[in-house]
Chains A and B, each alone.
Chain A
Amino acid sequence: MDFGFSEEQDLLRAEVRKLLDGRCALERVRKLMETGPGYDPDVWRELAELGWLGLTIPEAYGGAGLGWVDLVVLLQETGRSLFPSPLISTTLAAAAVLESRSEEQKQRWLPSLADGTRVGTLAFLEASDSFAPGAIALTGKPDGDAWLLTGEKRYVHDAGAANLFVVAFRTGGAATDLALAIVDAGAAGVTSAGFPTIDATKRLGTLKLEGARVPRSAVLGVPGAAWPAIERLLDLGAVAVTAELTGAAEAALAITTQYAKDRLQFGHPIGKYQGVKHPLAEMHVELESTKSLLYYAAWAVAESPGELPRSASLAKAFGSDAFTRIGIDGVQLHGAVGYTAEYDIQLYLKRAKWARPAFGDSDFHYERVARLGGL
């Protein structure tokens, strides 16, 4: 029994932290988040060279061949640094290709996702803002050796930066008659746009398909039978977002704890007062509990796939609510300066707002836990 990280994983954490602290500290993040693409292409290339973009892609396709527990280590650090990049989106696009189990498709897309020349993302949600399979209205019509896709995707992570979209589309009338296709951003009938969010380090956007022609060779898996793969991708998305939010929440707690030690009022550091130290203790309990739930979900990805739906939902549900509270209490415990743009704590509050709906909020995931538990 070992519910801890290996020496290699501890080393990976230290390396990622060192690189991000050196190349993309918060002052740099603050500048980047206001620029056009919202991230630093040079650091993106460095991450590719270190093998971190393709961390979970097998070595045969240019990746590092590591697992989701390793990925969690990486994402906790990018979360801690509020590092802006389409890393999660690209990782999920690669996971979609891996799920397809087609050798030819893996050869075709994985190496370019691993080396950073392609930026991928998953396009699932639509105007209905629902994760139910029946909510997918974007429809594919067979046309010779291709599908013609028409419809609009919303809330697509990194839609502005991505040049490869993994699109969920409808093939028939039953709720789960769905398929996944790789859509090139430059193809005819494809329009995408990214927009800033209240967390300026994260971008979201739309993807509009108007009779976009997708060759059959770009459809992943069996058309009409993609729901299990999609559901797993959504679970992986929930795990990835929870990993980043856990890192960010840890930083928010550390920043606030330091402030409580430094700030003097009534002649003492405010962290001496129980009105301040008790909320910090509660934040610690929620953070450590989120970590435990997250690590188990990440372990289940490869080692116990049947447990992934429940464990991913528990982690994302509990983590979303925990981080929401940590963000709010973090700002509140800072007093007035917490409200200023100058102090960093507000950046974490905004990240909490961004992370809550990403791949399902706590209402969605707790309802799923209830259903899986037989209620």
Chain B
Amino acid sequence: MDFKLSPQEEAFRAEVRAFLDQNLPEGANKFDPRFLAEWNKKVRAKRWVGFSWPKEVGGGGGGIMEQVVLKEEMSKRKAPPLGVCFMGLAWVGPAIIQYGTEAQKQRFIPDILDGAYQWCTGYSEPSTGSDLAALQCKAVREGDSYVVNGQKIWTSIAMWSKWIILLVRTDPNAASKHDGITCLLVEMSTPGIEVRPIQNMSGGAMFAEVFFNDVRVPVENRLGAEGQGWQVTVSALQSERSSIAEVTAMYRKLEELQELAKRTQRNGQPAARDPRVRRQLAVFEAKIEAMKLNGLRALTLQLKGAPLSSETSINKLLRAELEVDMGDFALELLGSAAVYRSGTPETVDGGRWQTGALNWPEVVIGGGTPNIQKNIIAERILHLPKD
């Protein structure tokens, strides 16, 4: 056991810190569009956007440990994200790099790195959420095109995206439901696509329904082979498992909660003196620390060359619990004032705690519900029979 970094990794950490000292000064307005434009240019020039991608496609060619260092330092300083095309960087890009044709790589990868426009993700359907592989949105080959008909739902930022990565059924008679699925890259302005935003329980509208009515997609926009869609999308999902950025963010939330507990009252004294409050905050700390250390154990396995496994499900479950419970606990600390929505003169801290307590489904449900994570652990790690 050894938690020290190699001299090269330490040198890289120093480089990242020096960059942040220079380009993210104390008090910089991180929401100022001009500042963000400059920031994006600078991190792109450092090749820290798509840091783990191969250099040939314009990525940084960074190693696993360097990725961890970069994420950790960025997260510690609350830096703006590295790149703005969130889904493009998270999974569309990796899928194109792994399965795309040369032409597709040249057409899409530079735009993803530059953040030229947004991608959205068309996987879930009204009748297929957790059972994703049962999806029904169909595509029929007609000459040089696929004709797509069907519906997607829970498509985050569909209304602001230029492209969608889409899973469709091309072979309804395939032996297994996974085999009949194909992956298409579709321009959102194609005739026949209609987007209807869905309002969420905290009042915002980040996701949408997307309808496809005789939408023609050129065959050259198929990613991977016909029938390979499941493999294309699943294998591109995770390339680094330390969850270090999430952990740093969770620690920051905990500090905010601790600070809130010091300035709210319970039974005539600061809530931070109440034994139950103290215990609950310490329980959160234990779970966040466990996430951090679980991540480092998984990372160690990855560094030793072990294949990607289902261990991320462990931290996903811990994070789900933490997101829900910490959001809720903040409202408990606020007492009666917790019920005011943002915008009233009585609302504490502009309503941010209420928003936090209502926004967790984005993280907790998106990407697999906790119950699905439990199935994954039970079946793939404990080898219990599938149900």
Q: Considering residues A3, A5, A257, which has the most beta carbons from chain B within 10 angstroms of its beta carbon? A: A3
Contact B377 A273 (CB under 8 A): no
Q: CA–CA, A278 to B377, complex, Å?
A: 9
Assess A271 versus B384: contact at CB under 8 Å? Given A285-B314, A317-B282. yes
> In this complex, what residue of B is CB-closest to A283?
B382
Is there a chain A Cβ closer than 8 Å to B339's Cβ? no
A363 to B287 CA separation, bound complex (whole angstroms): 15
Q: How big is the A interface, by class?
A: 35 or more
Contact partners of A374 in chain B: CB under 8 A: 258
Which B residue sits closest to A292, measured CB to CB? B293
Q: Is the CB of B300 within 8 A of A4?
A: yes
A23 within 8 A of B: no
Known: A2-B2, A277-B384. A288 touches B375 (CB 8 A): no
Q: Are A373 and B293 neighbours in the complex by a CB distance under 8 Å? A: no
Q: How far is the CB of A73 from chain B (nearest CB, A)?
A: 11
Whole-angstrom distance between the alpha carbons of A218 and B387 in the complex?
A: 64
Residue A295 at the chain B interface, CB threshold 8 Å: yes
The reply on B84 being an interface residue by CB < 8 A is no
The reply to whether A278 and B282 contact each other, CB–CB distance below 8 Å, is no
Q: Do the beta carbons of B374 and A282 come within 8 Å of each other?
A: yes
Please, how many angstroms separate the alpha-carbon atoms of A295 and B304 in the complex? Answer: 18
Bound-complex Cα distance A203 to B272 (A) = 38
- Shortest beta-carbon distance, B271 to chain A, in Å? 10
Residues of A with C-beta under 8 A to B377: 281, 284-285
B263 at the interface (CB under 8 A from A): no
Whole-angstrom distance between the Cβ of B91 and the nearest chain A Cβ:
25
Choice from A269, A292, A363, A367 contacting B290 with Cβ under 8 Å: A292
What interface size band does chain B fall in? 35 or more
A341 interface contact, C-beta 8 A? no
Q: Which of A283-322 contact B (CB under 8 A)?
A: 284-285, 288-293, 295-296, 299, 303, 314, 317-318
CB of A314 within 8 A of CB of B272, answer no
- Tell me if B378 is interfacial: C-beta within 8 Å of chain A: yes
CA distance A289 to B316 in the complex (A): 12
Closest to B294 in A: A292
B1-23 CB mask vs A (1 if < 8 Å, else 0) is 11111000100000000000000
The answer on a CB contact under 8 Å between A375 and B314 is no
User: Cβ of A366 and Cβ of B278 under 8 Å apart?
Assistant: yes
Specify which of A272, A290, A291, A299 is in contact with B387 (CB 8 Å cutoff): A272
- CA of A272 to CA of B285 in the docked complex: distance in angstroms? 34
Choose among B2, B282, B318, B374 the residue that contacts A281 (Cβ–Cβ < 8 A).
B374
Which residue of chain B has the shortest Cβ distance to A375 in the bound complex?
B272
B379: interface (CB < 8 Å)? yes
Selected from B68, B281, B286, the residue in CB contact (under 8 A) with A293 is B286
| Residue of B258, B317, B385 touching A272 (CB-CB under 8 A) | B385
Residue A261 is within 8 A (CB to CB) of chain B in the complex: yes
Bound-state CA distance A366–B284 (Å) is 10
Residues of chain B with a CB closer than 8 A to A5's CB: 1
| Chain B CB within 8 A of A260 CB | yes
Find the residue from A318, A363, A374 having the highest chain B CB count within 10 A: A318
- Given A292-B290, A296-B293, A369-B285, are A278 and B304 neighbors across the interface (CB < 8 Å)? no
A residues 246-270 in Cβ contact with B at 8 Å: 257, 260-261, 268-269
10 contacts between A and B (CB under 8 A): A6-B1, A257-B384, A274-B374, A277-B378, A280-B378, A281-B382, A289-B290, A363-B279, A366-B286, A373-B281
Task: Contacts A1-B9, A3-B297, A366-B278 known; list 4 others, CB within 8 Å.
Answer: A277-B387, A317-B282, A366-B282, A375-B272
Task: Identify the 8 closest CB pairs spanning chains A and B, nearest first.
Answer: A292-B293, A289-B290, A277-B378, A366-B282, A271-B384, A281-B374, A281-B377, A370-B278
